[in-house]
Structure 1
Amino acid sequence: MSLLKLFATYRFSRYFKLGFLVWDLVLLNLSIALSFWLRYGGEVSLVYLRGDKAVSLLSNIFWIGLLLHRDSYRIVRTERIESILYRTIRLLLVLMALVSLFIYVLKYTEVSRLRMVYFCSVFFVLLVSFRILFMKMLKHVRTKGYNFREVVIVGANAMGERMNRILSKDLTYGYRVTGFFDDEPDGTELKAPLLGGFAEVEHYLASHKIDEMYVALHINKIDTINQMTALCERYMVRIRYIPDFQQYTKTNRVEVSFYGNGNVPVLMLRKEPLEIPLHRIIKKLFDFCFSLFVIVFVFSWLFPILMLLIKLNSRGPVFFVQQRSGRDNQSFPCFKFRTMYVNKEANKVQATQNDARITKVGAFLRRTSLDEFPQFFNVLLGNMSVVGPRPHMLSHTEQYSELINNFLVRHYAKPGITGWAQVNGYRGETKALSDMEGRVEHDIWYIENWSLLLDVKIVWKTFIQVFQGDENAF
């Protein structure tokens, strides 16, 4: 068996976690050695200082504990790489805090602070580089057809098809949905074949190598669910249940807590990450630092040039200030460079392709997103964030909140200069209701999945789009 096949087999993948733990310890101790070399050069004898040896040992012990605590080092096939990196960075910060605390408490004054800075920096680079490299390698292996899990879904309905789309969204997730089983499909258009009814499940499991079964049935079919459970146990197929939380709430994110020593599951609406005070502080610091950097180092020299171009091209003010919907649906004055001739419809009618109201300079500003630069002042004022749902005109908020049930959920967060919807193609004019529904869906997903790394990813994708161009930017 080739090395690629050995690495990719399902049986071998069970040992990924143990291998990761061992490899992490290799990286940690390599970082310790490199930090000594960077700090002391060839003075090897200094490695044997009592404090340094104790700190090195504590670093190993703490890192093992952090990785094993609550399964912190898990690899979820459908998990985004930025989520894995965010969790890794968080663990690294905890490690540094614990080590620093012990250095202070044990009064290891001989431990070089500069060496600790080198250690933290080197370990961070090695750790993050390995995580990215491993995920890329694993995705490459799966694109070659290895390390796949064969899956069947019991329940040819909207919930079952939704799970099919999630598992099949990216081939590199490593799932292959072979089909559905159901006696009474509900008419949902399925992207995988209907293999038969419930009675055919046993024969299929006996004649095919199936790794997992997802059961997407209503609770009133408890007898069928129990039957599927018994079949999976007989044929050693791991079973996953998809509870229909939609009967309780319309949100897609819920949280299950266990009360009474873990015996009673309680369903709750999941809090958005930005409801946590520490997360709000982190996002606020990112907004402030990033906006200040842009204003000082970019806007300071770019503004006079753009101001002159706008003035020479058409009469009117340099800035266009418009009331828009902000967090909690409170209006605020949103700043932009003026891109249109002064007109009475500016606060009512969206810009369209080849809009006669747009000036020549305005077209360039819109195409490059430079018209949004003054909104960095909105960020400093606290009205906006660098990343978030785009703010709409008040008339559009009123209009679409009547047409789309969960439209106002996007106002749980501060509006942003750029957003998850914009970097995924939902930018510019909304020609059809489905365009706005797609934008709202992406905005709500962002609110429910916020992380600092996700913000950085969106900013980077926005930067790339500015230079590559966007057909919806007009």
Structure 2
Amino acid sequence: MSIINGVGIIYLVKEKDPLIFILFISIGWVLLSIYSKFYEVYRYTRPVIIISLIVRQLILFALFVFAFSGLYHELNIYPRPIVKYTLFCFLLITIFKFAIYYILQKYRVSFGGNYRTTVIFGLNKKTLALENFFNKKPEYGYLHKKTYNFKNKDQSLNECFEYILDEKIDEIYCSISELTNSQIADIVDFADNNLKILKFIPDSKEIYSKKLRYEYYDYIPVLTLRNIPLEDSANMIIKRGFDILFSSIVIVFILSWLTPLIAILIKMESKGPVFFKQSRNGFNYKEFDCYKFRSMTPNEDAHLYQATRGDQRVTKVGKFIRKTSIDELPQFFNVLFGDMSVVGPRPHMVSHTNMYAKKIDKFMVRHFVKPGITGLAQISGFRGEVETDKDIIGRVKYDIFYIENWSLLLDMKIIFQTFINAVKGEDKAY
């Protein structure tokens, strides 16, 4: 984006005010990039695919700049300079994009960095071709560890799972023709519950998923079982940009004056710190310090037990800030620092995460994205205390739906509903 704006200011706008140009061109570029999937370039993407993405984006962007010049006559932008501008921009973008692409490949080959470790379930011509791809093309960044032959009746899935955990394997590839339906179901559950990426080498057998995406490693077709929109670089940039903007607005215009007031009220009622810090599990199961306004009297059980209805640990001020969700506002600093997002699955205490991971199926899928201050589960009646297994199972279902169906519009809807619920007050906000 810096290339298209910089070249545009120098070559098209020149001495005129560039603000309108930068605003429209930047918004247009982002929207076109999402539509054309310009940033969906992965380690296994072939150069010819990258070229096709560049050409598609070039045509769409040129048309957009022509449309902008027709709508905004004050800048006196003419057709011939637009053609030269777009061609020069895309020459620089192409050089930059391929430079990054090949530098990363060189880095993987020369220094052994940026690697993903893999195992393959099933032995046949297709899996041997994939294994050959992994071993003979290290520039793509895959380090193949093992291929399992399930025609050998002594081969146990549990032994495979233990190996994957012990060796910290990143990705599992399955040949569907070599596995039974019950084995596939077990592998899917294992991958979901242990944060492992699972992909399939397709054939005619049924696959238990509604969302499948074809990818090609060289000319080998591979199916991705779970499509996560936030794995796309463009979506990551959009969500992170929104998080920074929204959290900055809240910190500057709300927390800047609200924090001293809440601090005075907390200190007047009970001794102890204004802020409460608690370790929670976030993206990829990593621990981080989650911040809140202190709503309880200092106690040793705060890191072990959730607040319950009528909890004697909660102060009078605490009841008010918990009911209105004001106690969660310091987490916007977590968002700004990059540990959390405004919207996402709510993070749990470390002790609770370990407990639920063992007893609730697919609980760990929630950690494929950053945790949020609010989430789809919270506005759907699954916030607060987990009273029964039904509460946490419902929460996980909504969280997985959010992960697989993320959009900026969905985030906006959740934020709006969260505000409405905070104003009305919720029964489980205690």
- 1:348-392 Cα offsets, whole Å, 9 max, x none, are 011100001100100111100000000000011111100001010
Equivalent residue of 1:421, what SS? Answer: helix
What's the counterpart of residue 326 of structure 2?
A: 370
Equivalent residue of 1:470, what SS? Answer: coil
Report deviation, 1:271.
Answer: 2.6
Alignment of 1:245 onto 2:207: yes
Trace 1:275-314 onto structure 2 (pairs within 5 A).
Answer: 275-314=231-270
Alignment of 1:394 onto 2:332: no
| Equivalent of 2:359 in 386, 391, 403 | 403
Trace 1:24-173 onto structure 2 (pairs within 5 A).
Answer: 97-102=61-66, 111-112=73-74
What's the counterpart of residue 348 of structure 1?
A: 304
Q: 1:365 to 1:95 in 2, by over 3 A?
A: farther
What's the counterpart of residue 92 of structure 2?
A: none
In the alignment, residue 102 of structure 1 is paired with which amino acid?
Answer: F
- Cα distance between partner residues in 2 of 1:348 and 1:307: 25
Q: 1:109 to 1:446 in 2, by over 3 A?
A: closer
- Cα distance between partner residues in 1 of 2:260 and 2:73: 52
What's the counterpart of residue 212 of structure 1?
A: none
- 1:440-462 Cα offsets, whole Å, 9 max, x none, are 11111111111111111110000
Alignment of 1:316 onto 2:267: no
- 1:105-132 Cα offsets, whole Å, 9 max, x none, are xx87983469xxxxxxxxxxxxxxxxxx
Alignment of 1:454 onto 2:410: yes
Q: 1:365 to 1:110 in 2, by over 3 A?
A: closer
In the alignment, residue 374 of structure 1 is paired with which amino acid?
Answer: P
Equivalent residue of 1:245, what SS? Answer: coil
What's the counterpart of residue 379 of structure 2?
A: 423
Equivalent residue of 2:240, what SS? Answer: helix
- Cα distance between partner residues in 1 of 2:65 and 2:367: 41
Structure 1 unmatched ranges of 5 or more: 1-62, 70-92, 115-218, 220-242
In the alignment, residue 362 of structure 1 is paired with which amino acid?
Answer: G
TM-score (norm 2): 0.54
In the alignment, residue 254 of structure 1 is paired with which amino acid?
Answer: L
- Cα distance between partner residues in 1 of 2:261 and 2:212: 50
Alignment of 1:255 onto 2:213: yes
Q: 1:110 to 1:467 in 2, by over 3 A?
A: closer
- Cα distance between partner residues in 2 of 1:384 and 1:275: 16
- Cα distance between partner residues in 2 of 1:292 and 1:461: 20
- Cα distance between partner residues in 2 of 1:94 and 1:428: 49
| Equivalent pairs, count | 257
Equivalent residue of 2:426, what SS? Answer: coil
TM-score (norm 1): 0.49
Q: 1:415 to 1:258 in 2, by over 3 A?
A: closer
Report deviation, 1:327.
Answer: 0.6
Report deviation, 1:397.
Answer: 0.5
Q: 1:433 to 1:109 in 2, by over 3 A?
A: closer
- 1:229-269 Cα offsets, whole Å, 9 max, x none, are xxxxxxxxxxxxxx9532xxxx553236799x9xx997432
- Cα distance between partner residues in 1 of 2:302 and 2:72: 67
What's the counterpart of residue 473 of structure 1?
A: 429
| Equivalent of 2:293 in 325, 328, 337 | 337
Structure 2 unmatched ranges of 5 or more: 1-31, 37-56, 77-180, 182-204
Q: 1:320 to 1:266 in 2, by over 3 A?
A: closer
- Cα distance between partner residues in 1 of 2:59 and 2:314: 54
Equivalent residue of 2:73, what SS? Answer: coil
What's the counterpart of residue 327 of structure 1?
A: 283
What's the counterpart of residue 382 of structure 1?
A: 338
- Cα distance between partner residues in 1 of 2:385 and 2:61: 48
Q: 1:356 to 1:449 in 2, by over 3 A?
A: same
Report deviation, 1:472.
Answer: 1.1
Q: 1:353 to 1:110 in 2, by over 3 A?
A: closer
- Cα distance between partner residues in 1 of 2:277 and 2:72: 59
Q: 1:273 to 1:433 in 2, by over 3 A?
A: same
- Cα distance between partner residues in 1 of 2:309 and 2:272: 22
What's the counterpart of residue 42 of structure 1?
A: none
What's the counterpart of residue 440 of structure 1?
A: 396
- Cα distance between partner residues in 2 of 1:429 and 1:109: 54
The alignment yields a C-alpha RMSD, in angstroms, of: 3.8
Report deviation, 1:313.
Answer: 1.2
* Aligned sequence identity (%): 49
